[in-house]
Amino acid sequence: MRNIKYADLICETLDQELARDENIVMLGEDIGFDGGNFKCTVGLMEKYGDLRVKDTPISEQGFVGMGVGMALTGLRPVIELMFSDFLLVAADQVVNQMAKIRYMSGGQCNVPMTIRCPIGAGRSSAAQHSQSMQALVAHFPGMKVVVPSNAQEAAGLLKTAIRDDDPVVFFEHKMEYNKKFDVDDEIEPIPFGKARIAREGSDITIVATSSMVMKSEAAAEKLAKEGIDCEVIDLRTIVPMDTETIIESVKKTGKLIVVDEAHEVCGIGAEVAAAVADDVFYYLDAPIGRIGNPQTPLPFSPALEFPLIPSEEKVIAKVKTYFE
């Protein structure tokens, strides 16, 4: 085991993949000379040259579209967006081109392309730079959607994403980049579509995404001291979604809450709840609960921002309502 910053492990993983496959190229604003907005690509341009690690203009529609073209001609582009919010600037290239070409070509063309982008609030980045876009992207068929929970998960899932022959949108939580994590010396690719049981329990199931997994684990440890045994499931990928692991857990616990930092309306919590209700409704002892952002833009002021976003305290309070 070793202790390493999340951003440094992302950089190390990208380095390993660039060395493994000469068809991998990287595009993004400031990923070269500056090493990326969150310092996830430091030193890579110097090592691999500016033809494989390319600084781009401030034009997401342009360089995401260029990535689609590269993928169609045999390269494997990895594109970094400064914030997930900027997916909307390139929405046509992402939703109508990257995601649909394999289907519309009858499988004759594939788009082996990964888009990395940060999600989440907590930095006072205001309404246009703090969103969590995973549910929006997952709505459109043709893309795989990944939400790693910690550094080791991010490294293993990123290797799988880059090697996948389909387009992947890979969401990293910006509040984790500077945190240090204990990770294995060697990290293997993690298969998509298989959730991880982060903590076993018997009283209630908590399904969480991204950094909400760690918040849920911390909440579960405190709740255990009060006699409430929580099972925490790290969803890992939204598309494909491992509903089987969730359903088996709900059969055991009879209770379920979903924690996801995106807005609750039309969010991942609703999708998980629908899947469970379809299959194991009669195993439920209580209504399914959701914890997410309310339907309001995220404010700049920390005094307003932090009360809105999901937290360890909110998870504890929600779980307790099932045992009052």
Which residues have a catalytic role annotated?
A: 60, 129
35 sits in the region (left: phi over 0; alpha: psi -120 to 50; else beta) called: left
Q: Which of 127, 129, 107, 109 has its CA nearest to residue 119?
A: 129
The answer to whether the CB of 205 falls within 8 A of the CB of 191 is no
**3-class DSSP state for residue 18?**
helix
List Cα–Cα distances, 8 to 83, 140, 178, in angstroms: 18, 31, 9
Sequence-distant (≥ 6) Cβ neighbours of residue 70 within 8 angstroms: 25, 77, 113
* The one-letter amino acid at 62: G
DSSP lists the bridge partners of residue 4 as 181
Q: Are strands 24-28 and 196-199 parallel, antiparallel or unpaired?
A: unpaired
Q: Are strands 196-199 and 180-183 parallel, antiparallel or unpaired?
A: unpaired
DSSP lists the bridge partners of residue 80 as 28, 116
